[in-house]
Amino acid sequence: MGKEIKTIGIIGFNVMGAAIGLNAASSGFRVIYKELNDTLVQAMYDRWVRDALAKRVAKGKMTQEEMDKVAGRITGTSRYSDLAPCDLVIEAAVEKMDLKIQIFKDLDLSCRPDTILVSNTSTFLIEKLMASVSNPERTAGLHYFFPANINRLVEVIRHTKTSDETFDALMTFADKNGKIAISVNDFPGFAINPVFISSYMVLNSMFGDTCNAATLDHVSKLALGVRYGIMWVLNGSGLGTAYHAAVSMHEYLADTDVGFPAVPVQLKTQFESGKPWDIEAEVSNDEALLKAAKERLLGSIFAISSHLIEKNVVSIKDLELGIKTALAWPKGPFTLMNEMGMAEAARLVHLTVDNGTFKMPKTFAAGIPSVWEV
């Protein structure tokens, strides 16, 4: 069953932290968020609680009585000491490792020894962030996906010292928030992001005179059967976030036995231009080009997904479920491989290894493997 969680703290109450907080408050939890000063505390409450909920009331999505109940469960503070009542504290600050490490040092001094401390980081290793926390068995990762109030997936990330009690409590907490939780072991980017980040890096690396952004978006739709392509998703989530995540993942994994794509110059240039990808341009009808781009994309997805299973980062079942939930892909990578045939899947994995995108997964090193047990 795990430790019962009733009151949660949130460090950083901007887009992601506020969405996590609203989701929790709507599910009946008391929420105490911390911001840098009292002015920000009030500004964040006005923007992300009062105004956001008022819009829902205006649209008929909730009643005024419901709004008052949810808003009444949320309070803010500028002092770590006010987080003492919390059973769980979720760090949702900006992606700066030194800042996050300091936050957990401060939380360790201010919270009860049994308070569960988690990070919502997208790429940093949880164990490294928690290195200075006493009672490290009460620490873990709790990775929400944007937008956190709509996207139902949560990765519950265990590092080597996370206790069963902590893990069970977080799985129960996620369920009470209406989330679909998957179990993930600590790994750079965890389970879903290594697949998604490498996918857009491979696509972005093909951008050029013969392959525009609209064509690449179309390729991802063809390959994955999605309604909204990967380039469209990048525009929505922000190219700055995409670029920095790409740099981080490459630094973590490029020189390991997993490997990772090089950071595309095209992504850096587009991010620095301040403009989104132009996905309204004319799509190429060059069948050879489309086929080659589709094969590169799928080969990279199959390679990194295989590595994640081999490294015991996540189960096949949870990776399939996580990708379909978080990314809205109709089929997970193992179902895609099984349906196209393992001989063809192996050919695409060999292509991605030959072009230096990833190292060879053990599963494909000895030839054509059996179908995956999905």
Phi first, then psi: what are they for 192, rounded to 5°?
-80, -45
Quote the pLDDT of residue 147.
85
**CATH code 1.10.1040.50 region(s) in the chain:** 192-365
**The pair of three-digit structure tokens given for residue 52, joined into one six-digit string:** 């956001």
Quote the pLDDT of residue 3.
81
Half-sphere CA count of 219, side-chain side, radius 13 A: 29
Nearest to 26 by CA among 184, 130, 149: 149
Report how far apart, in Å, the C-alpha atoms of 67 and of each of 109, 151, 177, 260 are: 34, 21, 17, 46
How much helix, strand and coil, in percent to the nearest 5, is found in the chain?
55, 10, 35
Residue 250 annotated to the active site? no
Phi first, then psi: what are they for 74, rounded to 5°?
-115, 125
Q: In the beta sheet, which residues pair with residue 154?
A: 144, 181
Write the burial class of residue 340 (CB in 10 Å: 0-12 exposed, 13-18 middle, 19+ buried): middle
**CATH code 3.40.50.720 region(s) in the chain:** 7-185
> Is 230:207 a contact under the CB 8 Å cutoff?
no
For each of the chain's 374 residues, which pLDDT tens digit applies? 468 999 999 999 999 999 999 999 999 999 999 999 999 999 999 999 999 999 999 999 999 999 999 999 999 999 999 999 999 999 999 989 999 999 999 999 999 999 999 999 998 999 999 999 999 999 999 999 988 989 999 999 999 999 999 999 999 999 999 999 999 999 999 999 999 999 999 999 999 999 999 999 999 999 999 999 999 999 998 999 999 999 999 999 999 999 999 999 999 999 999 999 999 999 999 999 999 999 999 999 999 999 999 999 999 999 999 999 999 999 999 999 999 999 999 999 999 999 999 999 999 998 999 999 99
Write the burial class of residue 288 (CB in 10 Å: 0-12 exposed, 13-18 middle, 19+ buried): exposed
Q: Which of 143, 159, 218, 307 is catalytic?
A: 143
Quote the pLDDT of residue 20.
97
For domain 192-365, give its CATH number from 3.30.2000.20, 3.90.1150.10, 1.20.1560.10, 1.10.1040.50.
Answer: 1.10.1040.50
For domain 7-185, is the CATH number 3.40.50.2300?
Answer: no
Quote the pLDDT of residue 146.
85
> Is 359:257 a contact under the CB 8 Å cutoff?
yes
The alpha helices in the chain, defined as continuous H runs, are 15-26, 38-45, 52-58, 64-72, 97-110, 126-129, 164-176, 192-205, 213-224, 230-237, 239-253, 265-273, 287-310, 316-326, 333-340, 342-354, 362-365
> Under DSSP, is residue 7 helix (H, G, I), strand (E, B) or coil?
strand
The rounded distance, in Å, linking the Cα atoms of 10 and 18 is 8
Half-sphere CA count of 250, side-chain side, radius 13 A: 17
The rounded distance, in Å, linking the Cα atoms of 34 and 332 is 38
The 10 Å Cβ neighbour count of residue 104 is: 22
The rounded distance, in Å, linking the Cα atoms of 49 and 225 is 36
